[in-house]
Amino acid sequence: MSDHGLRTYDSILDLLPSAENPTPIVRLRHIGGFQHAQVYAKLEWYNPFGAIKDRVAANLVRDAEERGEKLENLVEPTSGNTGIGLAMVSNARRYGFSATLSKQIPLEKRTALRLLGTDLVELDDDLCPMPGQPEGAMARAAELGERPGWTELNQYANPANPQAHFLTTGPEVWHQTAGAVTHFVASLGTCGTITGAGRFLKLQNPEVQVIGVHPTDGHDIPGVRSRRALALTDFFMPDEYDDIIEIGDDEAYALCQRLHQEESIIAGPSCGLALAGALRAIPDEPGVVAVVIFPDNAWKYLSSFRRHLPDLFPPEEAAPAPSNPFAAHLENAFVLAEHGPDVIDVQEARRLLDAGVTIIDVRNPEEVARVAIPEAVKLPLPELSLGSTDGLPEDRTAPVVTMCAAGVRSLYALLLLKAQGYQNVKSVAGGMNAWVAAGLPTGQPVG
Ligand SMILES: Cc1ncc(COP(=O)(O)O)c(C=O)c1O
C-alpha cells in the first residue's frame, strides 16, 4: 500500500500530487526584497515526471478511462512537458504514445521524449502549438488521432486540463497556506493552470487575486504563449483573472539565473517569467501571501540558456565548433536576418501583395496543395537553392517577399535571393500558419 507519510509507493502514479501529497511551496527570502509580503514558489518539478503537466497528463487519461474510452495509443500536440507526462503515464498503463511537436522545442525535451519511447512527429510550427495552423502540431495530431486504435486527448480543448488544476493545484495551494493565500500567479500556456486553480481558489475566497504572466511576441520561452497566441487559446479566460502581465525574455532569463544563485532554486525559464510578473503585481504589505507556480526546473533548457545566458558557456563551448565553416556563416546570417528589419508580419505581407509585390511561396508542392495564396509564385526551396528564379521579377531591385509554413525556410530563401543580387527581400514571420491564423485570404492554389 502506498503511504505518503513514509513516502513508500506501490506505483509511480501514486506519487502524483494531491492535497494529501502536495508539491512543496518554498518561501522566497531574497529576490524581491519583500519586508511584509510572504511570497512562495510552488515547485512543480516534484511531480513524478518532472513538471506541472504530469497533473494534466494523469487527469486526461483518468478522465478518458472513466468515460469508458478504450485507449490503446495516444497522440498529442505538445510543447514538451505534457508529452513527457503522457509518455510516462502511457508507459505505466501500457498504451502507445506519439507526440506532434515543433522542431523549435529544445533538443533536450525532444531527446527526453525519445528516451521515454515516444514516437515523435517533428514539424515546422511555433514553439507552442497554435490552433488554426493547417500544417501545425495540432492539426497533425487531430489527423493522426482519427486512425483506428488511436486517441487524441487534446490538452488544448479538453476540460480535463483545467480540471486537473481545479482538483489538485488549487486545493494544494489552499491547504498549504491554510486558506491565507491572497495572490496566485501562473505563467500562461494552455491556461489550464491559471483557469483551473484560479477557479478553485476564487470559490474558496473571491478576494484571491489571480494573476497571469505571458511573454512578448516572438519570445523564446518554451511552454508559454504571447498575448496574440493566447487570444486563440480555449482556456484563456481573461475575465476571470485580476491582472495579466507581459514580460520580456531578457527579464525572465535573468530572474531564472538569479533564482539559482540567490534562492538555491533550480528554476526553469517560465519560473523566471512568472516571478517577474509576480514582482510587478504583489504589494509588499502585511497579510499578503502569494503563491507563484514554478512549472519545471532548469535542466531541460540548456540550449535556451546558450542563447539567453551566453556568459554561462566558456567561449570554446559557446557554440559548437563548426565542422563546416560555410554552415556556421549561414547560421550567423540566418540569426542576423531573423532579428533584422527584413522580417515582416502577415499584415504587412498582405499590404505588399495588394500593392502588386511578388510573394514567393517556397514550401513543397504537397504543402501548397493544402492551402496557399493564389497569387503567390510557387518556387520550392530546393529548386531555389539550385539557382532557379522561375517566376521571379527580372529586375533585381524590385521588392519580393518570401513565405513558407512557419517563417524558417523563408529566411533561408531570403538569404539565397540576396546572394543572387535581389536587393529588397522580406520574409514573412510565422509564414502560412500565421496567414491562416490571421484569417487572411487563401484559395485554390494556382500553378
Ligand atoms: C514549462 C512550462 N511553463 C508554463 C506552462 C504553462 O502552463 P499552462 O499550460 O497550464 O498554462 C507550461 C505548459 O506546458 C510549461 O510546460
Q: Residue 132 pLDDT more than 90?
A: no
Q: Residue 227 pLDDT more than 70?
A: yes
Tell me which of 43, 224, 304 to substitute to probe ligand 1's pocket, judged by most ligand atoms within 8 Å of the beta carbon: 224
CA–CA distance, 209 with 201 (Å, rounded to integer): 9
Which CATH number does the domain housing residue 430 bear?
3.40.250.10
CB atoms within 10 A of CB 122: 14
Q: Are both 273 and 370 inside the same structural domain?
A: no
* 85: containing domain: 53-151
158 lines ligand 1 (CB under 6 A): no
Whether 2 is in a domain gets the answer no
Region 151-167: mean pLDDT is 97
Q: Are both 347 and 209 inside the same structural domain?
A: no
Q: Are both 283 and 339 inside the same structural domain?
A: no
47 lines ligand 1 (CB under 6 A): no
Q: Are both 433 and 334 inside the same structural domain?
A: yes
Q: Residue 62 pLDDT more than 60?
A: yes
Q: Are both 236 and 288 inside the same structural domain?
A: yes
Band (pLDDT 50/70/90 cuts) for residue 314 is confident
Using the mean position of ligand 1's atoms as its centre, give its distance from the Cα of residue 186 in Å: 9
Q: Are both 147 and 192 inside the same structural domain?
A: no
Band (pLDDT 50/70/90 cuts) for residue 107 is confident
Whether 446 is in a domain gets the answer no
Choice among 102, 187, 270, 410 that is catalytic: 270
CA of residue 136 relative to chain centroid, distance? 13
Band (pLDDT 50/70/90 cuts) for residue 447 is very low
Q: Residue 163 pLDDT more than 50?
A: yes
Which residue minimizes the CA distance to atom 4 of ligand 1? 223
CA of residue 403 relative to chain centroid, distance? 23
Using the mean position of ligand 1's atoms as its centre, give its distance from the Cα of residue 383 in Å: 39
191 lines ligand 1 (CB under 6 A): yes
CA–CA distance, 297 with 329 (Å, rounded to integer): 33
More confident residue, 385 or 9: 9
DSSP state of 166: I
- The answer to which of 138-152, 184-198, 287-301, 314-328 has the lowest mean pLDDT is 314-328
Domain count, the chain: 3
Whether 1 is in a domain gets the answer no
Region 31-54: mean pLDDT is 97
Q: Are both 221 and 252 inside the same structural domain?
A: yes
Q: Residue 411 pLDDT more than 80?
A: yes
Tell me which of 76, 81, 161, 185 to substitute to probe ligand 1's pocket, judged by most ligand atoms within 8 Å of the beta carbon: 81
Closest CA to 209 of 248, 231, 241: 241
59 lines ligand 1 (CB under 6 A): no
Which residue minimizes the CA distance to atom 2 of ligand 1? 223
More confident residue, 339 or 440: 440
Q: Residue 349 pLDDT more than 90?
A: yes
Which CATH number does the domain housing residue 125 bear?
3.40.50.1100
DSSP state of 13: G
Whether 309 is in a domain gets the answer no
Q: Residue 129 pLDDT more than 70?
A: no
Whether 3 is in a domain gets the answer no
CB distance 81 to 87 below 8 Å: no
Region 389-409: mean pLDDT is 90
Whether 368 is in a domain gets the answer yes
Whether 8 is in a domain gets the answer no
Q: In ligand 1, which atom is closest to the CA atom of 268?
A: 1
Q: What is the DSSP string of 236-298?
A: --GGG-SEEEEE-HHHHHHHHHHHHHHH---B-HHHHHHHHHHHHH----TT-EEEEEE-BBG
Q: Considering 151, 176, 197, which residue would you say is the last residue of a domain?
A: 151
Among this protein's residues, is 53 annotated catalytic?
Answer: yes
Q: Are both 288 and 166 inside the same structural domain?
A: yes
Using the mean position of ligand 1's atoms as its centre, give its distance from the Cα of residue 275 in Å: 14
Among this protein's residues, is 70 annotated catalytic?
Answer: no
Whether 445 is in a domain gets the answer no
pLDDT at 205: 98
Which residue minimizes the CA distance to atom 1 of ligand 1? 223
192 lines ligand 1 (CB under 6 A): yes
Q: Are both 340 and 433 inside the same structural domain?
A: yes
Q: What is the DSSP string of 92-113?
A: HHT-EEEEEEETTS-HHHHHHH
Q: Considering 95, 120, 151, which residue would you say is the last residue of a domain?
A: 151
pLDDT at 1: 86
Q: Are both 175 and 40 inside the same structural domain?
A: yes
